Structure 1
Amino acid sequence: MKAVLYDKRNSTNALVLREIEKPIPRDNEVLVKICAVSVNAADYRSMKMGIIPKSKIFGADIAGRVDAVGENASRFAIGDEVFGDISAFGFGGFAEYVAVPETALAMKPTGVTFETAAAVPMAAVTALQALRDKGQIQCGQKVLICGAGGGVGTFSIQLAKYYGTEVTAVCGEKNVKVIQSLGADDVINYKENDFTKCGKQYDLILAINGSRSLFAYKRLLAPKGVCVIVGGSLSQVIKSLLFGALLSIGSKKMRSLAAKPNTKDLEFIIKLVANGKVQPVIDRHYLLHETAEAVQYLSGGHALGKVIIEVASAPVVD
Structure 2
Amino acid sequence: MNSPAHRPAASAGNGGGVNPPLPELMTAIVQARYGDDPAAVLSPGQVPVPRPRPGQVLVRVEAAGVDRGVWHLTTGRPYAARLGIGLTKPRQPVPGLDFAGTVAAVGEGVSDYAVGDPVFGSGTGAYAGYATAPASRVIRRPQHLSPVEAAALPVSGCTALQAVRDHARVAAGNRVLIIGASGGVGSYAVQLAASAGAEVTAVARGTNREFVLGLGAKDVIDYTREEIDARGGGYDVVIDIAGNRPLRLLRSVLAARGRLVIVGGENGGPLLGGLGRQLRGSLLTPFISQHLGGMFGRTTGRDLAALAQAAETGTLRPMVSMTYALADAGKALADLADGRIRGKAVITVGEPGS
The answer, yes or no, to whether TM exceeds 0.5 is: yes
Matches within 5 A, 1:188-227: 188-227=221-260
Q: Which runs of 5+ in 2 are unaligned?
A: 1-25, 77-81, 267-271
Q: Distance in 2 between matches of 1:116 and 1:165?
A: 25
Matches within 5 A, 1:131-210: 131-210=164-243
1:249 matches 2:276 = no
Corresponding residue of 1:3: 28
Which amino acid in the other structure matches residue 96 of structure 1?
A: G
1:15 matches 2:45 = no
Q: Distance in 1 between matches of 2:177 and 2:350?
A: 39
Corresponding residue of 2:135: 102
Corresponding residue of 1:48: 75
Aligned partner of 1:79 among 110, 116, 131: 116
Corresponding residue of 2:300: 262
Corresponding residue of 2:274: 236
Contact kept in structure 1, 2:187 and 2:212, CA below 8 Å:
yes
Contact kept in structure 2, 1:125 and 1:265, CA below 8 Å:
yes
Residues 248 and 157 of structure 1: is their aligned pair in 2 closer, same or farther, counting only changes over 3 Å? farther
Contact kept in structure 2, 1:22 and 1:97, CA below 8 Å:
yes
Mark the structure with the bigger radius of gyration.
2
Deviation at 1:249, TM superposition (A): 2.3
Q: Distance in 1 between matches of 2:48 and 2:349?
A: 17
Corresponding residue of 2:100: 63
Corresponding residue of 2:316: 278
Q: Distance in 1 between matches of 2:322 and 2:131?
A: 23
Q: Distance in 1 between matches of 2:240 and 2:133?
A: 32
Corresponding residue of 1:294: 332
Corresponding residue of 2:145: 112
Percent identity between matched residues is 33
The Cα offsets for residues 60-89 of structure 1, whole Å up to 9 and x where unpaired, read as 111100112224210111111111122xxx
**How big is the alpha-carbon RMSD for the aligned residues of Structure 1 and Structure 2?**
2.1
Q: Distance in 2 between matches of 1:9 and 1:225?
A: 39
Contact kept in structure 2, 1:288 and 1:314, CA below 8 Å:
no
Q: Distance in 2 between matches of 1:239 and 1:71?
A: 43
Residues 107 and 278 of structure 1: is their aligned pair in 2 closer, same or farther, counting only changes over 3 Å? same
Contact kept in structure 2, 1:210 and 1:229, CA below 8 Å:
no
Q: Distance in 1 between matches of 2:53 and 2:245?
A: 46
Residues 263 and 237 of structure 1: is their aligned pair in 2 closer, same or farther, counting only changes over 3 Å? same
Which amino acid in the other structure matches residue 18 of structure 1?
A: G
Number of matched pairs: 312
Q: Distance in 2 between matches of 1:46 and 1:24?
A: 22
Q: Distance in 2 between matches of 1:45 and 1:186?
A: 31
Q: Distance in 2 between matches of 1:83 and 1:100?
A: 10
Question: Taking structure 1 as the reference length, what is the TM-score of the superposition?
Answer: 0.92
Contact kept in structure 2, 1:214 and 1:240, CA below 8 Å:
no
Q: Which runs of 5+ in 1 are unaligned?
A: none
Contact kept in structure 2, 1:57 and 1:94, CA below 8 Å:
yes
Deviation at 1:248, TM superposition (A): 5.3
Aligned partner of 2:55 among 21, 28, 40: 28
Corresponding residue of 1:123: 156
Residues 247 and 218 of structure 1: is their aligned pair in 2 closer, same or farther, counting only changes over 3 Å? farther
Deviation at 1:186, TM superposition (A): 1.0
Contact kept in structure 1, 2:129 and 2:352, CA below 8 Å:
no
Q: Distance in 1 between matches of 2:301 and 2:200?
A: 27
The structure 1 segments of at least 4 consecutive aligned residues displaced by more than 4 Å after TM superposition are 9-12, 313-316
Deviation at 1:250, TM superposition (A): 2.0
The Cα offsets for residues 16-57 of structure 1, whole Å up to 9 and x where unpaired, read as 111111122233222100000011111111222253553311
164-173 or 63-72, larger mean C-alpha shift:
63-72
Deviation at 1:255, TM superposition (A): 0.6
